[in-house]
Amino acid sequence: MRYLTPLLALTLWCSCGNLRAGISAPIPFARLSSDESRILVVRSGDAASDHPNVTNPTLSNGEEIDFLSLFPASGVYGWPDRNLVYEIDWYCLDRELLASADLDHLARMNRFGNEWALKFYSSGNETSTYTLDQLLTSFASEGFRPFATWDWHHPWHEDFDLAGERVTLTTVGREIAGFSIGYHEIHTFDIGTGTLIETDVRNGRFIVLLVGFGGFFLILLTTIVLAIRSRRNKKLAEQDAAEQPAT
């Protein structure tokens, strides 16, 4: 027992170190607007400047912007004057944020989906919020979603892309007992207003499986009914034969 406590402490210390250095650790990032007149800065404020995986944005002339030393807080700034356009009071991972070409409009995703799943912003002000109940039309519970050891959660999304002014969000393919049923949604939003434009539900494989299982059970049920009826008719015939008087 006296050796167990130090071993447990060492294990916890190593685990914490792995979490601090893991891929889910907060990594600050920055993006330039299409005309390079603005820069978007997102940083957590938790010793972010010491993170080894920080990538500085590069201007078209080859100049690299050391954004952590130039911008102490998250927000959108003018470039090169560095004047604050609007501030940001939240943090997210780089892949969880989409921005319009002028950085006026943002779409931010919550990979865990707790409380909210998707938010839209205009000039730093929240315009729309969507929950998992709105984005997962069926088979929404965690039991229908695969489990990911990365950050230990049940992912609810797959693709999160921006083309022009349209945000496309593809939800995770659902599964039953580890078997994919091919059910998922493709949502299209307007990044400027945060309005949901279209929802395309893909359930082809699920319908095929449903029809297949339905057909199988129908055939099975028909076979059972015919077998019962045949046995009953045979029994009735035997009873009739037994009741007939001998000649």
Q: What angle do CA 69, 71, 75 make, to 5 degrees?
A: 150
Same-domain status, 33 and 61:
yes
Kindly state whether residue 47 falls inside one of the protein's structural domains.
yes
Q: Is residue 199 within 8 Å of residue 186, measured between CB atoms?
A: yes
Please tell me the total count of domains within the chain: 3
Kindly state whether residue 179 falls inside one of the protein's structural domains.
yes
Same-domain status, 127 and 161:
yes
What is the amino acid identity at position 63?
Answer: E
Kindly state whether residue 4 falls inside one of the protein's structural domains.
no
Q: Using the Cα atoms of residue 139, residue 143, residue 147 and residue 151 in order, give the sign of their dihedral.
A: positive
Same-domain status, 216 and 197:
no
DSSP 88: -
Give pLDDT tens digits along the chain (247 positions): 454 444 444 444 444 444 443 445 679 999 999 999 999 999 987 655 557 789 999 999 999 999 999 999 999 999 999 999 999 999 999 999 999 999 999 999 999 999 999 999 999 999 999 999 999 999 878 888 888 766 678 899 999 999 999 999 999 999 888 788 889 999 999 999 999 999 999 885 555 455 555 666 667 777 787 778 777 777 766 666 666 665 5
Kindly state whether residue 20 falls inside one of the protein's structural domains.
no
Question: Residue 55 in 3-state DSSP?
Answer: coil
Same-domain status, 68 and 145:
no
Same-domain status, 150 and 178:
yes
Distance CA 210, CA 205 (A): 8
Same-domain status, 87 and 66:
yes
- The domain containing residue 159 runs over which residues? 104-202
Same-domain status, 186 and 111:
yes
Kindly state whether residue 218 falls inside one of the protein's structural domains.
yes
Kindly state whether residue 142 falls inside one of the protein's structural domains.
yes
pLDDT value for 4: 45
Same-domain status, 197 and 110:
yes
Kindly state whether residue 237 falls inside one of the protein's structural domains.
yes
Distance CA 38, CA 176 (A): 47
Same-domain status, 120 and 196:
yes
Kindly state whether residue 67 falls inside one of the protein's structural domains.
yes
Question: Residue 69 in 3-state DSSP?
Answer: helix
Same-domain status, 139 and 81:
no
Query: pTM for the full model?
Result: 0.73
